[in-house]
A and B are shown apart, each in its own frame.
Chain A
Amino acid sequence: MTDIQITSPVSAPRIGESAPRPDGVPKVTGTFTFSSDLWHNNMLWGGTLRSPHPSANIKSIDISGALAINGVSAVLTHTDVPGSLLYGLEHADQPVLAADVVRYEGESVAIVAADHPETVRRALAAIVVDYQVTAPLVDPEAAEQAEPIHPDGNLIRRLRLRHGDQNIQGEIQVEGTYEVGMQDQAFLGPESGLALPSEDGGVELFVSTQWLHSDRDQVAVCLGLPPEKVRFTLSGVGGAFGAREDLSLHAHLCLLALHTGRPVKMVYSREESFHGHVHRHPARMWYRHHADTDGNLLRVEARLILDGGAYASSSGAVISNATCFAAGPYLIPSADIDGAVVRTNNPPCGAMRGFGAVQTCVGHEAQMDKLAAALGMDPVELRLKNALKSGDKLLTGQTITGAAPVAEVIKSCVDHPSTLIPSDDMMSLPGGAGRTADPHHIVRGQAMAVGFKNLLFSEGFDDYSSAICHLVDGVATITCACAEVGQGFVTLAQQITREVLGVEEVILAPAATATVGSAGSTSASRQTWMSGGAVQKACEAVRQQLLERIADQHQVNLDDLVLVDGQIVSLSGNFSLDLATATTEPLEADIEYHHAPTYPVDENGQGDAHVSFAFAAHRAVVDVDPELGLVKVVELTTSQDVGRLLNPLQAVGQLEGGASQGVGLAVMEEVLVTEGRIRNASFTDYLIPTALDMPPVEIAAFIEQPEPGAPFGAKGIGEPPSISSTAAVVAALRDATKRELPRVPVRPTDIVQLEDDTP
């Protein structure tokens, strides 16, 4: 990294300074308390019986054998759910416990609480479920025509986007069909939590999640309890990346605790976790791009189909993103895009970092390279020529009013000098520790890609966050239900508070539903903006109250008062007061922060559906052993549009982590599903990049163009790193191998292409 200065962390960092994570050292040294470490002396252990079939009718469930086992306190099925049987993020279509039908392998059928995990295991094995197995619907392209596998039908959502003149034809046209496999979020901390019955007949749940209030509301409905009797508190989260947006064990734990009157703990095994959360949607995408002979994009046509799996989860919003961002950050006057997400008996899919834009980036960037080849034009030049900028219209007809430094991210990324040092260490070649290659077997490839997506929630969703600022004796306490899942809100909330109030010490109260309103989800790159904004507004409100009080008490002019470094001073001269002294009487503000309204799209997919957008570019250099199909990403360079850098250290972490998930999807990460069954539900066979697979991420530039309307001008930065990184790596593999490689992850067999091979 040549131009980026990461200041070493300071003790009480403010906005723009590197703030070390309070959980950093504990996590590395193993002392951090994750939700799986929760303990209560009187607790029971919970477990879940899951369907072994992707599709079956349940004829009967016999729990008597399990109940007869010594140490078993409860065995519950769908008949024990007191409230609504169904829940869901966007549509309540998924049963808390399956009643008469199971729609995916691993669907929850019964739950058990017992005195020991081993008793739980035996009890689960003693439950007899009589399944009538039915043929699973596994082909997403056949789903719409097939018999409905759910009362809500097999089409979860279709979006048709028609933009501009539909009769435009380009002189140059390129076409391609692309496929993206099912990626897992691969967080390391499995689903886990501890539920405790409360004296008022309610229940408390300590759990790792992305959105406490949404979980709480969904669970309360299933429990048949008013929301205030269901209290959720965030406990140590071991990664999320979208996989904790949906409920997993939340309702089950609450049911067991209420039923037994005892605290109940549950921790999924790794294999169970692969069945217990949603994955990234697999995608099949057809594209046709039209351009004139000068390389001006004229029109894009696309057909997108995402496999939503058995239940809706957030599929509706994912297909909306996939459709809106289908063509990438380019100005295109005409578009015809059809996006559908369908229901199948495959594992349910939902939120994952990048949320629909990752899949389409693989498609649109491959198309841009194809188009450049057809035009005989440099692919970077083609992208720059068509790059979106502020004031341009998206395919949804929305005008970009904020920053859109697409050309800037592209240029700074591709102009960044390569720092690759040649190495003949066998370990650093493709094949790594396996010692399969010698240097002369290796070919190198290089390419770049650019992508974008929306920040915050879209399509008219009333998106807000709440925060309380309490100031006493010069110490600020911030209460916000924002789920810290690794994104860095805990440092940011403190930085913002110091910046606004000039205090040193900032305490963060636990994130919980009982003490504060909703913060919204830790997703959609939204918490820096939304909960950061809520904290800023709450602090500003407290500052205003304070200055008014001081002006009043000391008969000084309010307009002259400012807060600097723990002092209240009057600009007109002779008044100054220590903040701690001024706040012996506490001050408090409780606010709700909403972003600018958005609107649903019309029947042509047109409308001002989004608040803001963020852009990133990646350049990848890969080494390939073409004969064995083994690869190594040797260099990855990125530039990202960040609005304003609030915590440089944390930003680097986001760019590195996001890129490594992108590299994983490009070359190895895939949940393999055959006939509805996951074949690699373990980290033995679901591979994620190791240190030998992931090069250091070179950050060419953080493009800082303050975003209007965003607190401190800062954009969310969590998702863009995982959007264009995959596309860049695949493009570099194409450059090295001269193969089309229309599918990710790219497998060795895709590169070798043996004649007699049928994967």
Chain B
Amino acid sequence: MSITIARSLDHALTTLHENPDALILAGGTDLMVQINRGYLNELSTVIAVNRIPELQGWKQQDDTLVLGAGLTYAEMEKSDFAAVAPALAQAARTVGSPQIRNAGTLGGNLGTASPAGDTLPVLAALDAVICLRSAQGARRLPILEFITGVKNNARQPGELIEEVHIPAAQGHQEFCKIGPRNAMVISVASLALIVDQQNKKVRLGLGTVGPVPLRPAEAEEHLSTNVNWAANTVSAATLDQFSTLAAAAARPIDDHRGTAAYRRHAIGVMARRTAARAFTEETA
């Protein structure tokens, strides 16, 4: 077994080119758990990417928010980041414990592609684009094309997740997550609501209620067309319908963390509540 601690993006990409099936190690908060459980026995080459300067941090580039794959939750929680991407900051705060948030990265969350990955519904609602790079070149995939199934993504051997691009949007953002504990809990259901004031659109991302993050188009459409954008208000009936449509779009399963019925119900409740935070509910 060999371990390469990559010091630059080129270094990582060359090593990856020579060992396309190498295991990529970022914060290790998912990977090491899998190794300890014996899921990844045949370790050959490991490439550690958490010291690559090009993958660190985030920046604003014209109309795009550029997030490095190595961006940690601890950095996402900070107030400067929360000012530009509040829902992601809120999602980051719900991840694990401070230790996990110091080590765990956005790229790792995408790499694992767990249905319970907390950034995924937010990235879905933000219309995020995943930038992959290999020694041969780069390609970009919308988040919903990148995540292909339960713990599956479209990354090809030899490719590295380099960046996540988020188109700038002005408007209220919300992230909510359900777990039977008040912190440090794996999601039972989660939801992100992003208001795009400029385009008068509300976008909704659902997490943990399907094999991949979901975008309930009907619910989004219903809310977007029925909001009073001038007054920033919404009727109770619209909220109710939005809630019903969001819940109907969920594709949850029963497992030891929660039942499908509860998950669907919770999506409906969170949808209504987050929309009521974004827009004032009109009094009848």
The stretch of B16-24, B155-163, B213-221, B265-273 that contacts the partner chain: B265-273
A433 and B273 contact, Cβ closer than 8 Å, known pairs A693-B181, A749-B262, A759-B259 = no
Q: Are B182 and A756 in contact (CB under 8 A)?
A: no
B186 touches A434 (CB 8 A): no
Contact A430-B182, Cβ < 8 Å, known A435-B176, A748-B262: yes
Q: Judge whether A752 is part of the interface by a CB distance below 8 angstroms.
A: yes
Q: Are B182 and A692 in contact (CB under 8 A)?
A: yes
**Contact assessment for B36 and A269 in the assembled complex, using a CB-CB cutoff below 8 Å:** yes
CA distance A691 to B184 in the complex (A): 10
| Contact of B178 with A431 in the complex, beta carbons under 8 Å | yes
Option from A435, A685, A691 in Cβ contact (under 8 Å) with B175? A435
A244 contacts partner chain B, Cβ-Cβ < 8 Å: no
Known: A269-B36, A438-B277, A680-B256. A431 touches B182 (CB 8 A): yes
The answer for the CA separation of A435 and B122 in the assembled complex, in Å, is 14
Per the bound structure, the CA–CA distance linking A684 and B277 in Å amounts to 31
Give CA–CA (A759, B188) in the complex, Å: 14
Residue of B nearest to A667 (CB): B180
**Chain A contacts of B165 at CB under 8 A?**
none
Taking CB atoms and an 8 Å cut-off, the chain A residues in 266-280 that contact chain B are 269, 271
B262 touching A432, Cβ below 8 Å: no
**A 133-179 contacts with B by CB, 8 A:** none
- Is A706 in the interface zone, CB < 8 Å from B? no
- Contact, CB under 8 Å: A692 / B183: yes
Interface residues of B in 112-136 (CB under 8 A from A): none
Of the residues A121, A627, A680, contact of B269 by C-beta under 8 Å: A627
Cβ-based interface call for A734 (8 A): no
For B257, what are the chain A residues with a Cβ–Cβ distance below 8 Å? 685
**Are A690 and B262 touching (Cβ within 8 A)?**
no
Q: Which of B94, B180, B184, B259 contacts A630 (CB 8 A)?
A: B180
Query: Once bound together, how far apart are the Cα atoms of A269 and B37, in whole Å?
Result: 9
The residue in chain A whose Cβ has the minimal distance to the Cβ of B268 is: A627
Complex CA distance for A629 and B259, rounded to whole angstroms: 13
Contact across chains for B90 and A668 when beta carbons are under 8 A apart: no
B-side contacts of A41, CB under 8 Å: none
B residues contacting the other copy or chain, number (CB 8 A):
34
Judge if B38 is at the interface, Cβ distance under 8 Å. yes
DSSP class of B's interface residues: helix, strand, loop or mixed?
mixed
A687 an interface residue at 8 Å Cβ cutoff? Answer: yes
Question: Does A393 count as interface, using CB distance less than 8 angstroms?
Answer: no
Whether A754 pairs with B184 at a CB distance below 8 angstroms is no
Name the one of A430, A434, A747 contacting B177, with C-beta atoms under 8 angstroms: A434
Cβ of A672 within 8 Å of any chain B Cβ, yes or no, is yes
Tell yes or no: A679 within 8 A of B by CB. yes
- CB-CB under 8 A from B177, the residues of chain A are 433-436
List chain B residues, Cβ under 8 A from A627.
Answer: 269
**Among the listed B90, B174, B180, which residue makes an inter-chain contact with A748, where contact means beta carbons less than 8 Å apart?**
B180
The residues of B that contact A758 with a CB separation of less than 8 Å are 254, 259, 261
Give, as a whole number of angstroms, the nearest-CB distance from A677 to chain B: 11
Known contacts A748-B262, A754-B262, A441 near B180 by CB under 8 Å: no
- Among B36, B182, B188, B277, point to the contact of A432 (Cβ < 8 A): B182
- What 0/1 readout, one digit per residue, does chain B (28-51) give for beta carbons within 8 Å of chain A? 000000001110000000000000
For residue B38, which residues in chain A have a CB less than 8 angstroms away from its CB? Answer: 121
Residue of A nearest to B257 (CB): A685
Query: Which of B37, B176, B190, B262 is in CB contact (< 8 Å) with A757?
Result: B262
Are the C-beta atoms of A690 and B273 separated by less than 8 Å?
Answer: no
User: Does B93 reach chain A (CB closer than 8 Å)?
Assistant: yes
Known: A685-B256, A752-B265. 19 other contacts (CB 8 A): A431-B178, A432-B183, A433-B93, A433-B94, A434-B182, A435-B90, A435-B174, A436-B177, A436-B178, A630-B178, A630-B182, A684-B186, A687-B180, A687-B185, A689-B181, A690-B182, A754-B265, A756-B261, A758-B259
